[in-house]
Amino acid sequence: MLATSIRKLLPSAGILSLDARGHGETVTSDDSDLSLSTLSSDLIEIIQLTAQYCGWSPLPDIVLVGHSLGGAVVVDVAHSGKLGNAILGYAVLDVVEGSAIDALQSMHTYLSTRPTGFSSLSQGIEWHTRSRTLRNPTSARISVPALLSEDANSSSRPWKWRTDLAATQPFWEGWFVGLSKKFLEARGGKLLLLAGTDRLDKELMIGQMQGKYQLLVLPEVGHFVHEDAPEKTAAAVSAASGALGKIVLILENSWLSFIGEMIEVPWCCHQKWEICTSLRLASITLPYRTK
C-alpha cells in the first residue's frame, strides 16, 4: 500500500522490491548472517547492480527510506559514503537507538507470547490485526502472507514464521548501537517519522532542537507506521524527496524497494525481471515510459 500511495504522488517512478537475505525467498551463501555490515553491503551492491543494468552513470539522486531494522541499514549506508554524492537524503521510520535497545531487553518475552505458527494464512492475518501489531486490515492482508511460509510436515500449524527472530539475537545490539550518531552525522537531508515522541532519545532530542533533521510524529499509528498509515507516510516521503522523479529507496520491514527516475527505460510495462548475482537479491518491476 505504501508503494501504491507513493506511485500516486510520484507517477513517473519505477519500483524495485528487494528481498533481503534471511527474510524471504532469497538464498545466499550464508542466510544466517544478518549483521548490519552484511545487510548494508547487500543494499549497496544491489543499487550498484541496478545502476549498471540501467546504464545510470552517475547514479541519480537517492533518498533512502528504512523502517525499523531497515532504518538502521539505510542510515549505515548513508553514513558509509559508499554511494558518493548520490544520496540526497534519508528517512527513518519508527526506530531510535535508545528505545530500540531498551526494547531488545523484552524481546524474549515478546517472542514467548507470539504464536509459533498458524493453521491458515487468514488466521495469521487475524492475529496481526487482533493483537494490534498491524492496525490497517487491508495492509495486513497484503503484507502478512510474505511473513509466513507453509511447512508441509506440520499438520496443526503449518504456516510458520519465515524469519526466526530468536536466531538473530547475536546481531540485535549491533543493529542499533550508534544509530543516532550516524543518523545525525551522515550527509544529506534527514527525516525521522515516529509513532510517538516518547521514542526520542537524548541525542536526537538535542539534534531536533538544533534543527538538524525534520521530525514528524503520527501518534494514531503503531510501530509499523507505513502499514498503518501508508498515505501519510507516502506524503512525508514524497515531500522529503524534494521533487518528482528522484529515486526513493524504501525498506518495508526488511524488504527493500526503491522508486527511481525513469528516462528512456528499455523494457515493457510492468515487465518483471531478476538480477542474477550470487546474492540473488532482487526482482524488479519498472514502468515503461517513452521519451
> Looking at this protein, which amino acid is placed at residue 81?
G
Query: Which pLDDT value is given to residue 268?
Result: 27
Query: Which pLDDT value is given to residue 89?
Result: 87
Query: Which pLDDT value is given to residue 182?
Result: 97
Global pTM reads 0.83
Question: How does pLDDT run along the chain (291 residues), one tens digit per residue?
Answer: 888 888 888 777 666 667 788 888 878 889 899 999 999 999 999 889 888 988 988 888 888 889 999 999 999 999 999 999 888 889 999 999 998 998 888 998 999 999 999 999 999 999 999 999 999 999 999 999 999 999 888 778 999 999 999 999 999 999 999 999 999 999 988 999 999 877 788 899 999 999 899 999 998 899 999 999 999 998 988 887 754 344 555 444 444 444 433 322 222 222 333 332 333 333 333 332 322
Query: Which pLDDT value is given to residue 288?
Result: 29
Per the CB < 8 A criterion, the answer to whether 9 and 235 are in contact is yes
Residue 59 cell numbers, joined: 547514479
DSSP 44-104: HHHHHHHHHHHT-SSPPPEEEEEETHHHHHHHHHHHHTTTGGGEEEEEEES--HHHHHHHH
Could you give the residue numbers annotated as active site? 68, 94, 223
For strands 271-275 and 62-67, give the pairing.
unpaired
| Number of other residues whose CB lies within 10 A of the CB of residue 192 | 24
Query: Which pLDDT value is given to residue 270?
Result: 29
Between CA 13 and CA 149 the distance in angstroms is: 31
Between CA 69 and CA 202 the distance in angstroms is: 20
